[in-house]
Amino acid sequence: DPSPESTFVCPIIIEDDRTGLDTETIRRALRDNLLYIQGKLPELASKNDLYMALAYTIRDRLLQRWLTTQQTYLKKDVRTVCYLSAEFLVGPHLANNLINLGIYEQVQKAVSESGLKLEELIAQEEEPGLGNGGLGRLAACYLDSLSTLEIPAIGYGIRYEFGIFDQEIHDGWQVEITDKWLQYGNPWEIARPEAGVEVKFGGYTESYTDENGNYRSRWIPDYVVKGIPYDTPILGYRVNTANTMRLWKSEACESFDFGRFNRGDYYGAVDNKVHSENISKVLYPNDEPIQGKELRLEQQYFFVSCSLQDMIRIHLHENPSLNSFHQKWSVQLNDTHPSVGVAELMRLLIDVHHFDWDKAWFITQNTFAYTNHTLLPEALEKWPLSIFGRLLPRLMEIIYEINHRFLDKIRIIYPHDDGKISRLSIIDESGEKYVRMAHLACVGSQAINGVAALHTELLKKDVLRNFYELFPEKFSNKTNGVTPRRWIVSSNPRLTFAITEKIGENWIKHLEDLRGLENYVDDGEFRDSWRRIKYDIKADLANYIDKKVGIKVDPSTLFDVQVKRIHEYKRQHLNVLHIVTLYHRLKNNPNLDITPRTFIFGGKAAPGYFMAKLIIKLINSVAEVIDNDPTIGGRLKVVFLPDYNVTFGQRVYPAADLSEQISTAGKEASGTGNMKFSMNGALTIGTLDGANIEIREEVGAENFFLFGLTTEEVYAKKAAGYNPQEYYYHNEELRAVLDLIGSGFFSRGDSSLFRPLVDNLIYDDPYMLLADYQSYIDCQEGVGRAYKDQEHWSRLAILNVARMGKFSSDRSIRQYCEEIWRVQPVKIELPDYIQANA
Ligand code: BZD
C-alpha cells in the first residue's frame, strides 16, 4: 500500500537500536545525544547538558508511540475530544514520562555512569508554568487521564513565552520575577510551522452578494497574525497512546516591512512583528478574570481561532465536508476563556465554508460543552462591547445574531417578562454594554457542568439559574479529580512502594483499588512503617526548607500545610489567626501543653491584589517573630516557602500531616489540592465547601476535621446583616489576636501596616472569618489532641488514602466521556519492530 503513512514509517525501522528500552541501549543513546545534540563531551557536560541529553533520549522513545497514535486516529477516523484551555499547568515532564513508559529503573542505571543521580537530572527540569492554579492544573491532569484511558484527544492552548511569574520574597513582600522557562530550550516540544494558520483582528465588515445571489459578510481586518503550533506528546500510563498538547505561538505573517525600512523608519519596520508576537508573550497572572484588557481578548480569540481552523483542516483531510463536524469533534471549553469559539465556529462555517445559519448553529451547539469553575459573581467574564466590536467586528455581528435569535425564542416562553430577557441576554445592557461570555457559552453548548456537587447545585440555584430553568437537561456535575501518576507515584515513591507491596499495582490505574488498604489499618507493623515513611519524607522537606529559607523545622512536629493561590476567600489569614492564637496562649502560659506544629504556607498573589499581598507579608511577619522567639522553644514554627509551583507541590503534599481547606462555604468551586493531600495521607481540616464535602463523604465524617458555617448559614447570616464587630467584641481571645496584629507587634511597631487587613475583618469581613473563628480554633484543638495519639492518627491517615479512589481524574474523565463527549477508547498497536513497553 503506497499510502503516505506507510512510506513514512519505513526509514526508521532500526528501532531497537535507536530507541530500545533496555539499559544498554539507553546508555548509548544518552552518550549519543550528549555529543550530537548538546555538542558536549561527557567530561565537560554540565548537569543541564545531561538533563537535555536525557530528555531527548526519552522524547525519542515517545515518538513512535506518538506518531503511531496519530496515524491510528487518522486511519480509523475517530471521534476526538478537544480540550480548549487558556492554561495547561503540566509540570515537569521527565519523571512522568519515565514512569508512564515503565523505564525508571533502566534509566536510573543508565544515568549512573555519568556520576550523577537520576533524581538530580529530574530536578534540573524547568517546569512550564503555563497556568495560574487549579484550572490550569486540572487541564493537565485531564490530559494525563485522557491518554491513560486511550481516548483520542488534543489539548489546545497558548504557548506563553513567559508563564506565571517566579515569586521571590523580599523583606516579607512578594516580588514578581519574569519566568524565563524557555531560555535553555524546551526539549519536549516540536514546532510545526507547516501547520501554521492565520488569524484576523480589527478592521471592519462589509456585505456582498455572492455568485449564487446569497447575501454574505466579509471581514476586512486591520491586521493578520500567524499561529504556529508547538506540539508536546502526552503519554498515557503503560499504554501506547500518546496524545498531543498543541500550544499556539503568535508570529507576524511578514516580520519585516521593507517599505518602512527603505523610508528610514527602522523601528516601524518591525512594529508588526513586535505587536504580533506580543499576543502569546505572557500569561496574565490573575486567577480571576482580567476585565477589559484588550490583549487578553486577543489571546483568547487567537488560540481559539487557530484551534478551530486546525480541527477543520484535519476534518477535511478525512471527510468530504463539515456536515459531520460535530460527530467527529467534541470541544470542551475550560471556563469561558475560550467561549468566543462559539461565535468563531459559526463564522468559519458561514463565511468560509458557506453553511446557512441553521445548519451552522446545529453543528456549533452540538460541538461545544462548557465547564464553569467559579461561583464568585464578580468573576464572571465579560467584555466591553467597545473593545469587543473594535477587535472582532465580525464576531460581534455573529454574537448579535445569536442573541437576537435566542431572545426571540425566550420571548415565546416568557411573553411579558422583560426582566427575564435582560437577565438571559448575551449582551448586558444595564449600564456600559458588555458581552457576557458565560451566557454565550451556555447558549452555544450542548452541556454545562460544575466541578463539584455543591458547586453544580449552586450554579443551578444561583449563578446560572435562568439558564437552568430554560434547559435543565444540559446541566450536570463532574466532580474534579487529579492524576495519581503525578500526585502519588511520581511525587511519593516511598508511599507508592508501601501500597504496592500490600495490594499490588493495579491501583495506579484503578484508584478505587486503594480500598484494599483498609485490610491493613489494624496491622501494627504496617502502621509503623507508614509512620516511618511519613517521617522520612518530612525530614527531606525539613532539609529543603533549611536550604531554601534557612529555617530549621523538626520533622516530628505536626506539619500543618496550606498551599494554594493567595485569596481572601481561601482564608490564609484565618490560618494566621489560629497561629497567633496559639502564640498568644503560649506567651500568657509558657508551660501550656500544646502539640508542636510547623505551619507551612506557599502560594502566589495576583500582582495587583493588594490584600493578598498583604496577607503574604503578614504570614512572613508573624513567622519572623514566632520563629525567633526563644520562649516558644520550637513548639511553633511558621514557614512561607517562596515560589509555590507544581514541582514544589510534589514535594509538599507527601510531607503534610494536616491539609488546610478552609474557604468560606460556597466560595471554592471544588479545590483539587484537597484531593492531593488526602491521597498522600494527610488529614483534612475543612469547611463544607467544594469537593471537601465529597471527600468527607468518602473518607467518613469521623476521619475529617469539620468546622464552620454551611453555605446556607453563610447566606442566611449575610441576609440578616452580618456584623463582624459582634464577634470582635464578644470573643476576648479573638479581640486580643486582632489587636495584637493591629498593634504593630508583628511589624516592628508599625501599627499602620496591617491596619487595612484588620479593619477589613472587623468592619466588613466579606469572607466571614470572624464568624468561623471559634469553630476553627476548637476544631484545631481536636486536631492537636488527635495527633498526640500517633497510632490513632495513622489509622485515620491510612483510611483517608484507602478511600480516595473517587478523586482520580480517571473517574472524572470517564464521566465526561460517557455523559458529555460520547467518545470511546481506541487501542494503539505498535508495529512489531518497536520494542513493547517493559
Ligand atoms: O478551578 C479553580 C477553582 O477556584 C477551584 O475551586 C477548582 O478546583 C479549579 C478547577 O476546577 N479556578 C481557577 O483556578 N481559576 C483560575 O485560575 C483563573 C485563571 C484565569 C482567569 C480566571 C480564573
What confidence category does residue 15 fall into, taking pLDDT thresholds of 50, 70 and 90? low
- Asked whether residue 432 carries a pLDDT value surpassing 60, the answer given is yes
Q: Is 289 in the pocket of ligand 1 (CB under 6 A)?
A: yes
Predicted confidence at residue 1, as pLDDT, reads 39
Q: Is the pLDDT of residue 771 over 60?
A: yes
Please tell me which residue, 113 or 282, carries the higher pLDDT value: 282
The residue ranges of DSSP E strands in 726-797, in sequence order, are none
For the residues 628-649, what does the mean pLDDT come to? 97
DSSP 165: P
User: What type of residue is 575?
Assistant: N
- Please check the confidence at residue 607 and state whether its pLDDT lies above 80: yes
- Percentage above 70 pLDDT, the chain: 97
Ligand 1 centre from 133 Cα, in Å?
A: 6
3-state secondary structure of 208: strand
Look at ligand 1, atom 17, and give the residue with the nearest C-alpha.
287
Atom of ligand 1 nearest to the CA of 669: 6
* CB distance 62 to 235 below 8 Å: yes
What confidence score (pLDDT) does residue 378 get?
Answer: 85
What average pLDDT does the segment 66-94 reach?
A: 97
Could you tell me if the CB of 287 is within 6 A of ligand 1? yes
Question: What is the structure's pLDDT at 4?
Answer: 46
* Ligand 1 center from residue 86 Cα (angstroms): 11
pLDDT of residue 728: 98
Read off the pLDDT of each residue in 741-770 and give the average, rounded to a whole number: 98
pLDDT in tens, 224-243: 999 999 999 999 999 999 99
Task: Decide: 381 in ligand 1 pocket, CB within 6 A.
Answer: no
Using most ligand atoms within 8 A of CB, pick from 88, 130, 373 the residue to mutate for ligand 1.
373
| Separation between Cα atoms, residue 176 and residue 173, nearest integer Å | 10
358, 366, 312, 144: which is closest to 822 by C-alpha? 366
Say yes or no to pLDDT of 433 above 70: yes
d(CA 421, CA 424): 5
Please name the residue whose Cα sits nearest to atom 22 of ligand 1. Answer: 288
- Is residue 204 scored above 60 in pLDDT? yes
Q: Helix, strand, or coil here: 248?
A: strand
Ligand 1 atom 8: residue of nearest CA: 671
Whole-number Å distance between alpha carbons of 235 and 144: 7
From the CB of 135, is ligand 1 less than 6 Å away? yes
Nearest atom in ligand 1 to the alpha carbon of residue 480 is: 11
Range in 21-25, 140-144, 483-487, 833-837 with the lowest mean pLDDT: 833-837
pLDDT at 99 over 50: yes
Averaged pLDDT for residues 323-343? 98
Residues 545/553, Cβ–Cβ less than 8 Å:
yes
pLDDT the model gives residue 835: 54
Q: Is 2 a residue whose pLDDT tops 90?
A: no
Tell me the three state secondary structure of residue 661: strand
Determine the distance separating the centroid of ligand 1 and the alpha carbon of 644, expressed in angstroms. 16
Average pLDDT over residues 320-347: 98
Q: How far is the CA of 253 from the centre of ligand 1 (A)?
A: 34
C-alpha cell belonging to residue 220? 476586512
Mutate to test the pocket of ligand 1, among 287, 672, 767 (most ligand atoms within 8 A of CB): 287
Q: Is 133 in the pocket of ligand 1 (CB under 6 A)?
A: yes
Q: Does the beta carbon of 288 lie inside 6 Å of ligand 1?
A: yes
Q: Check if 138 has its Cβ closer than 6 Å to any atom of ligand 1.
A: yes
Q: What is the mean pLDDT of residues 355-375?
A: 98
| Nearest residue (CA) to ligand 1, atom 18 | 287
DSSP H or E run through 230: strand 223-235
Q: What is the mean pLDDT of residues 591-610?
A: 98
What is the b/e burial string over 216-252, where b = at least 16 CB atoms within 10 angstroms of the residue's CB? eeebebeebbbbbbbbbbbbbbbbbbbbbbbbbbbbb
Q: What is the pLDDT of residue 591?
A: 96
Task: Please compute the mean of the pLDDT values over residues 429-438 and round it to a whole number.
Answer: 96
How do residues 675-697 score in pLDDT, each as one tens digit?
A: 999 999 999 999 999 999 999 99
CA–CA separation, 159 and 246 (whole Å):
8
ipTM (interface pTM)? 0.99
Residue 373 Cα to ligand 1 middle (Å): 6
Q: Is 333 in the pocket of ligand 1 (CB under 6 A)?
A: no
User: Is it the case that residue 836 has pLDDT exceeding 70?
Assistant: no
pLDDT beyond 70 at 11: no
Write the DSSP string, 185-228: --TT-EE-GGG-EEEEESSEEEEEE-TTS-EEEEEE-SEEEEEE
Task: Say how far apart CA 366 and CA 425 lie, in whole Å.
Answer: 21
Whether the predicted pLDDT of 488 surpasses 80: yes
CA–CA gap between residue 337 and residue 696 (Å, rounded):
31
Q: Does the CB atom of residue 451 touch ligand 1 within 6 A?
A: yes
pLDDT at residue 10 in the model? 46
CA of 766 to the centre of ligand 1 (A): 20
Judged against a pLDDT cut of 70, whether residue 581 lies above it is answered with: yes
Average pLDDT over residues 344-358: 98
pLDDT, position 12: 46
Give helix 493-503 / helix 524-549 axis angle, nearest 10°: 170
| Ligand 1 contact, 310 CB (< 6 A) | no
Task: Assess whether pLDDT exceeds 80 at residue 199.
Answer: yes
Question: What would the mean pLDDT of 744-767 be, rounded to a whole number?
Answer: 98
* Residue 831 clears pLDDT 90, i.e. is over it: no
pLDDT the model gives residue 174: 98
The residue that leads in pLDDT, 378 or 310, is: 310
Q: What is the pLDDT of residue 16?
A: 62
Query: In 3-state terms, what secondary structure has residue 329?
Result: strand
To the nearest whole number, what is the mean pLDDT of the chain?
Answer: 95
Does residue 663 line the site of ligand 1, with CB under 6 A? no
Confidence at residue 17, expressed as pLDDT on a 0 to 100 scale:
63
What is the best residue among 85, 89, 135 to mutate for testing ligand 1's pocket, by most ligand atoms within 8 Å of CB? 135
Instruction: Return the ligand 1 atom nearest residue 288 CA.
Output: 22
If you measure from the C-alpha of residue 381 to the centroid of ligand 1, how many angstroms do you get, rounded to a whole number? 13
Query: Across residues 324-351, what is the average pLDDT?
Result: 98
Provide the pLDDT for residue 162. 98
The number of the ligand 1 atom at minimal distance from the alpha carbon of 671 is 8
CA of 288 to the centre of ligand 1 (A): 8
**Would the pLDDT of 256 be above 80?**
no
- Higher per-residue confidence, 834 vs 46: 46
Please give the positions annotated as active site: 373, 564-565, 570, 672, 676
CA of 376 to the centre of ligand 1 (A): 11
Q: What is the DSSP string of 378-434?
A: GGS-EEEHHHHHHH-HHHHHHHHHHHHHHHHHHHHHSTT-HHHHHHH-SEE-SSS-E
Ligand 1 lined by 82 (C-beta under 6 Å): no
pLDDT confidence tier of residue 3, bands split at 50, 70 and 90: very low
What integer pLDDT is reported at residue 19 of this predicted model?
Answer: 80
Residues 483-505, mean pLDDT to the nearest whole number: 98
pTM check: above 0.90:
yes
